[in-house]
Structure 1
């Protein structure tokens, strides 16, 4: 009886070989899991959601498309967003070093370019602004005109689209 089963086993494997291989490969394949978001990306999404709660659908879509016209609701949104991230302080403006570190540090941003751009926009906007929300908006709009702004747009698009 033992010899018969030993002879039948190779025959069975020969007959079911390809099917057995396919089944074992299919069973061994792990089910795909959605990619985990980075903590910074989650913080950006939370701040975006909290600060856009008072916006209409059309206004929120404009924010998501990064169309930031100088309007009161846009100023409030920008101030809320950066304040929630703790990267804007009403007494001092943008925390340039905090922004660099929060968004990946020197490996993602050129620090020699980012710090002067953010700090320069901060100082320039402070001189011409009327109130904290206006100052925050003007500093942000200024930064958007620099290479840091280009990076910010790409990064936020990746976060919104689930790629970061």
Structure 2
């Protein structure tokens, strides 16, 4: 026969097992993305629907070759975010605001870089360049500035779920 102390111990063990069994496993809570990051991801997904897996991977790695699919993707991406207007190019002030303003970017460096690339790559008078080409050339120009380095880091964080 079992002693009372053994019965008490056995009942506590059974109770502990029930608690452990009934407790749902801890589910890691993903980091909440900012509305701006979600907008970037949505634009990326919507504009990348026509891309092959290899093309998508290339863009995710921030490799922007001069190819039709890259030019169209970039124009779609920036236009969808309403940060590119076909009449005036990149909306420098809106880009700075959308990407965190003075907290995240050196505004004194960003605004002249973006506006300078708009002006430098615009050849609206020649007619030979489409707005898609202009967007691509202006974007490549911005990538060559410190703003471009920040953009690459930020987009990598967004794609990897860290922003």
TM (norm. structure 1) is 0.81
- Aligned pair count reads 149
Aligned to 2:117: 121
**Structure 1 consecutive aligned stretches of length 4 or more whose deviation exceeds 2 Å:** none
Aligned partners of 1:54, 1:32: CA distance in 2, in Å?
33
1:1-164 superposed matches below 5 A:
32-127=28-123, 130-164=129-163
Q: Unmatched 5+ residue regions in structure 1? A: 1-11
Measure, in 2, the Cα distance between the counterparts of 1:154 and 1:42. Answer: 16
**Unaligned stretches of 5+ in structure 2?**
1-7
RMSD: 2.7
Structure with greater helix share of residues:
1
Aligned mates of 2:105, 2:149 — CA distance in 1:
11
Q: Take 1:42 and 1:74, find their aligned partners in 2: how far apart are those partners?
A: 21
Whose RCO is larger (CA < 8 A, sep 6+)?
Answer: 2
State the secondary structure of the residue aligned to 2:29: coil
